[in-house]
Amino acid sequence: MPITARQKQLVQQSFAQVEPIAEQAAEIFYQTLFQYDPNLKPLFKSDIKSQGQKLMATLKLAVRGLDDLDGLIPVLHKLAERHVDYGVEAKDFTPVGNALLYTLKVGLGEQWTPELRQAWVDTFRTVATVMKAHAFND
């Protein structure tokens, strides 16, 4: 997985700064996601607040998992399988990634630098690549 030690550090430190505002961050994420792709809204059966808690818990797990990338892969495979069961398609990763980046930009404000953005882009791209390769075999 092509994530540098510096990128991992940036992602982990920035996520720690977002955690205290997790509920607001999740709200921003889903509002943004549904603006980017309204067709995704029906995939979310439970209320958005509980979905947001799941999102933040999953992000926390993935961000912590960057310390053990080999151990993270089976977790991402299971996550991918669940998302396929929910009706997620490979193309849905793009608006999700974009909504995540926007949420982090808003949540981190002035601390959102080009270097930090690239660290998150590379991290999300790596996670999405692992998940899509497992679930969709493209």
Q: What are phi and psi of 49, to 5 degrees?
A: -65, -45
Domain boundaries, given as residue ranges, for the chain:
5-136
Give the number of other Cβ atoms within 10 Å of residue 102's Cβ: 17
Give the pair of three-digit tokens for residue 20.
Answer: 């205290």
pLDDT in tens, the chain (138 residues): 579 999 999 999 999 999 999 999 999 999 999 999 999 999 988 788 999 999 999 999 999 999 998 999 999 999 999 999 999 999 999 999 999 999 999 999 999 999 999 999 999 999 999 999 999 975
Quote the DSSP letter at residue 112: -
The pLDDT value given to residue 47: 87
Angle at which helices 22-36 and 93-108 pack, to 10 degrees? Answer: 140
The pLDDT tens digits of the residues spanning 54-80 come to 999 999 999 999 999 899 999 999 999
Give the pair of three-digit tokens for residue 100.
Answer: 């995540």
The pLDDT value given to residue 44: 87
The pLDDT value given to residue 138: 53
> What are the CA-CA distances from residue 31 to residues 24, 38, 66 (Å)?
11, 10, 27
Task: Please name which of 102, 90, 88 lies closest in space to residue 130, comparing C-alpha atoms.
Answer: 90
Does domain 5-136 correspond to CATH entry 1.10.490.10?
A: yes
The pLDDT value given to residue 16: 97
Count CA within 13 A, CB hemisphere, residue 11: 26
pTM: 0.93
Residue pair 70/12 in contact by the 8 Å Cβ criterion:
no
